[in-house]
Amino acid sequence: MKVCIQIPCFNEEAQLPQTLRALPRSLPGIDTIELLVVDDGSSDRTAEVARGLGAQVVSVPLHRGLANAFVAGIDACLARGADVIVNTDGDNQYCGEDVAKLVALIKEDNADLVIGARPIAEIESFSFAKKVLQRVGSWVVRVLSGTRVADATSGFRAMNREAALQVNVFSRYTYTLETIVQAAHHGMRVRSIPVRVNASVRKSRLARSNLHYLWRSGSDLLRIFVVYRPFRSFMVPALALFVSATAIALRFVYYLLIGDGGGGHVQSLILAAILYGLSGALMAVAFLGDLLAINRRMLEEVQLNSRRARFSADRRERHDG
């Protein structure tokens, strides 16, 4: 069994040596462990440092963000024949020894995707607001995915080969939330396990502020919900508008029946007509979205078969070579 530990990096020259040295080079029942640094267009010596410490390097020519680097690493690990892929950060945030915990659950076939749950309440570098946002975000992901993931934004995770083959990240911001919802949507077993963290050495580059983090994560969650639950996303507000329009229309009819003439309430009738129109439009979008979701699932199946064939061929070539 081969394990690839991928580390997406952007200008991590200073912290990368400590990160790489903390990662295990052998684990019980694992034949090979390969370290893979994904250099996301760094302007410093990140790639050079990685090679000097024995890691393989995948270079992204331009800085395109964490989500893109994560996907590039997944593809590279699959091409190298990985049976288990572990993802960690280049800033040494996570305790490297805990890779063993993540891999063990995959190796024992108890999970397809394992998320390392940080002790959020104990992390001193996190402000109170950030701790609250982390917990709220994880709760929302649990609701959307039906999983019990304690720390949805954790980048410390492991997945088996089949789960990696089905990774599709559309966000340009981060991969953490989308991949959990996606995995659950595909019927994968998603587990959460406590992990340790190291003292923070710098501020997060992903979120410039709590407001920025809230905006980007919130918009990602909304988009994820629309992509994976399109019918519910549009039908629920459509029905709410329909009920509101009906209540307003009945109010007009009531005043008309009691002899008020209804003339003074014609604005209500106009508002009801507008709400009925909006409700009908949203219902149409709901059905169209559902049809598009069916088409997307069919395309994902075609893509999965294509990726299986391509990476199996790469695996055989590496083995024969």
> Taking the domains of the chain in order of start, what are their residue ranges?
2-228, 230-320
Q: Which residues fall within 8 angstroms of residue 134, CB to CB, at 6 or more apart?
A: 120, 126, 151, 153
* pLDDT value, residue 284: 97
Q: By C-alpha distance, which of 87, 93, 126 is closest to 213?
A: 126
Residue stretches of the chain with pLDDT short of 70: 202-210, 260-264, 314-321
Alpha carbon distance 194, 32 (integer Å): 25
* pLDDT value, residue 64: 86
Q: Are 89 and 69 in contact (CB under 8 A)?
A: no
* pLDDT value, residue 133: 78
Q: Are 78 and 13 in contact (CB under 8 A)?
A: no
Kindly report, residue by residue over 150-194, the tens digit of the pLDDT.
999 899 999 999 999 999 887 777 788 889 988 988 899 999 999
* pLDDT value, residue 261: 57
* pLDDT value, residue 135: 85
* pLDDT value, residue 172: 72
Tokens representing residue 249 in the block: 């229309």
Using N-to-C axis directions, what is the helix angle for 176-185 and 210-228, rounded to 10°? 20
* pLDDT value, residue 259: 72
pTM of the model: 0.83
- Give me the architecture of the 2-228 domain, per CATH: Alpha-Beta Complex (3.90)
Q: ∠ CA 57-182-5 to the nearest 5 degrees?
A: 25
